[in-house]
Amino acid sequence: MDDRRTQFLLSEKELPQAWYNLAADLPFPVEPPLHPGTLQPIGPADLAPLFPMALIEQEVSTRRFVDIPGEVLDVYRMWRPTPLVRARRLEAAIGTPARIYYKYEGTSPPGSHKPNTAVAQAYYNKKEGIRRLATETGAGQWGSALSMACAAFGLECSVYMVRVSYEQKPYRRSLMQVYGADVVPSPSPRTAVGRAILEQNPDSPGSLGIAISEAVEDAAGHADTHYSLGSVLNHVLLHQTVIGLEARRQMELAGDYPDYVIGCCGGGSNFGGLSFPFLADRLEKKGQTAGGKRPAVIAVEPSACPTLTRGTYAYDFGDTVGVTPLVKMFTLGHKFVPAGIHAGGLRYHGDAPLVSALYKHGLIGAAAHPQVAVFEAARLFTRAEGILPAPESAHAIKQAVDIAVRCREENREAVILFGLSGHGHFDLAAYDALLNGTLADYEHPEEELRRALAELPQVPVAWPAAGEVAAGREGGG
Ligand SMILES: Cc1ncc(COP(=O)(O)O)c(C=O)c1O
């Protein structure tokens, strides 16, 4: 084989035909979501006003593989399979004996991994006769992905965009509008939640939690409208496994297997999507083993929003107001307001229940990095590899660079795979801050974290415990 090979590409014919469902292989039970009013486990009927039945079924499915519908594959074909790249120039810049690979999701039309689930969600809603989808967006990656997916299937799309981003980051908004979406600054007078907040504070900058509350209220109040979420839920992570399924085949083409699999983690969807097909190897189920391979899997988060590394494993709401079901997750508390770092997609108080349970059981590790170091790693990457990463993705780069540096110091070979979840072409204001020296780090004091956690909802019933395990190491046990 040509030992200078840099790109490992699959043909359109090699697009995965089914998503991988990690729930089939979990060696422990995951606690059920609870109704926000009764605090009892929710059933399909509770979710029906918000989601189509096909997605509700996927949410609770334990089938190992779920077929990808032909109509979804037809849209995926516009940019999938995505490239796996050997970062030879980054390796040289670091001077490491480690071999570094990245799976690049920035080649999708809106520029991130988010359309992998947006397209699937739009398809199932259209099939069920839904006319419009409502959702929230922070900086706009998710909103633009869902707007594109709705355009592909002829659905209307309403995006509640956090007001401060709506005003300060107008270009993602423009992209959504070109796709045909109706973009509303949140809090808005359209919903009771928005009106109540505006009454108290007409200048409210909004937050992701408030925007979720508004989108859920909109969907619940209109029979022809459903809600769509871009992360956290099981079905979202399921759709994202197309990333890891491709990456596994591409690593075979490269003749390598990762010792480390790294992803940035906001709600956990690109991290889960890349890592779950490799975690299947760790779980050592029949037919899923790769010769006893046990990759260390690391979720990377900002020090300013350290859900896994400093949060608590508890039932909590998904939104600020408390209208969504409660899920068991690592959380900083639904009232927690993370500092205004540039990686807007990582500013979420919780993590996906699946990612949280894996961490609790020691099957994955986690790390947190401050933003100045993250952007420095992004600059190193851009100079070496040419791609300007999204600030979120840069967290994975930072972790990969740290491990590669350690390999250099220890004169140790290792294979590192990280997810490059999106490009940063709409995030140049953040890079400007790096260049002009105004980028700052922030760590929330312990007292502030304690205060937010004190507002966790009290759940009186003890649902089956996940079991006590060690957590907190890099790479899992
Ligand atoms: C490029 C990019 N990467 C990562 C994330 C984090 O989301 P998740 O953890 O669901 O992958 C976001 C969220 O907006 C994003 O835009």
CA of 308 to the centre of ligand 1 (A): 16
CA of 411 to the centre of ligand 1 (A): 33
Out of 346, 354, 397, 425, give the residue to mutate to test ligand 1, the one with the largest number of ligand atoms within 8 Å of its CB: 346
- Which ligand 1 atom is the nearest neighbour of the CA of 141? 16
At a CB cut-off of 8 Å and minimum separation 6, what does 469 contact? 360, 361, 362, 477
For ligand 1, atom 14, the nearest C-alpha belongs to 345
For ligand 1, atom 10, the nearest C-alpha belongs to 269
d(CA 35, CA 252): 44
- Which ligand 1 atom is the nearest neighbour of the CA of 268? 9
Cis peptide before 81 (omega within 30 of 0): yes
Integer angstrom CA distances of residue 211 from 53, 119, 321, 411, 431: 24, 21, 10, 49, 26
Task: Yes or no: say if 337 and 477 are a contact pair by the CB < 8 Å rule.
Answer: no
**11: closest CA among 182, 246, 350, 218?**
246
Residue 280 amino acid letter: A
Please write the tens of the pLDDT for every residue from 242-256. Answer: 999 999 999 999 999
Task: Yes or no: say if 417 and 258 are a contact pair by the CB < 8 Å rule.
Answer: yes
CA of 287 to the centre of ligand 1 (A): 31
What are residue 120's DSSP bridge partners? none
Q: Each residue's pLDDT tens digit in the chain (477 positions)? A: 458 999 999 999 999 999 999 999 999 988 999 999 999 999 899 999 999 999 999 999 999 999 999 999 999 999 999 999 999 999 999 999 999 999 999 999 999 999 999 999 999 999 999 999 999 998 899 999 999 999 999 999 999 999 988 988 889 999 999 999 999 999 999 999 999 999 999 998 888 888 999 999 999 999 999 999 999 999 999 999 999 999 999 999 999 999 999 999 999 999 999 999 999 988 865 444 455 678 999 999 999 999 999 999 999 999 888 889 999 999 999 988 888 888 888 988 999 999 999 999 999 999 999 999 999 999 999 999 999 999 999 999 999 999 999 999 999 999 999 999 999 999 999 999 999 999 999 988 999 999 999 999 988 755 544 333 333 334 443
- Which ligand 1 atom is the nearest neighbour of the CA of 393? 3
CA of 473 to the centre of ligand 1 (A): 23
CA of 290 to the centre of ligand 1 (A): 28
Integer angstrom CA distances of residue 52 from 169, 183, 405: 32, 23, 47
User: What does the CA dihedral 190, 194, 200, 202 come to, rounded to 10 degrees?
Assistant: -60
Provide the pLDDT for residue 463: 52
For 402, other C-beta atoms within 10 Å of its C-beta total: 17
For ligand 1, atom 4, the nearest C-alpha belongs to 392
Token pair listed for 258: 């990762």
Task: Yes or no: say if 95 and 126 are a contact pair by the CB < 8 Å rule.
Answer: no
Out of 236, 270, 275, 398, give the residue to mutate to test ligand 1, the one with the largest number of ligand atoms within 8 Å of its CB: 270
- Which ligand 1 atom is the nearest neighbour of the CA of 240? 11
- Which ligand 1 atom is the nearest neighbour of the CA of 272? 11
Task: Yes or no: say if 452 and 333 are a contact pair by the CB < 8 Å rule.
Answer: yes
Provide the pLDDT for residue 473: 39
Provide the pLDDT for residue 210: 87
d(CA 51, CA 301): 29
Out of 103, 137, 141, give the residue to mutate to test ligand 1, the one with the largest number of ligand atoms within 8 Å of its CB: 141
Q: Ligand 1: residues whose CB is within 6 Å?
A: 112, 141-142, 231, 264-271, 345-346, 390, 392-393, 421-422
CA of 346 to the centre of ligand 1 (A): 6
Q: Which domains does the chain have, with CATH numbers?
A: 7-18+64-110+236-453 (3.40.50.1100), 115-229 (3.40.50.1100)
Provide the pLDDT for residue 288: 44
Q: What predicted TM-score, i.e. pTM, was given to this entire model?
A: 0.95
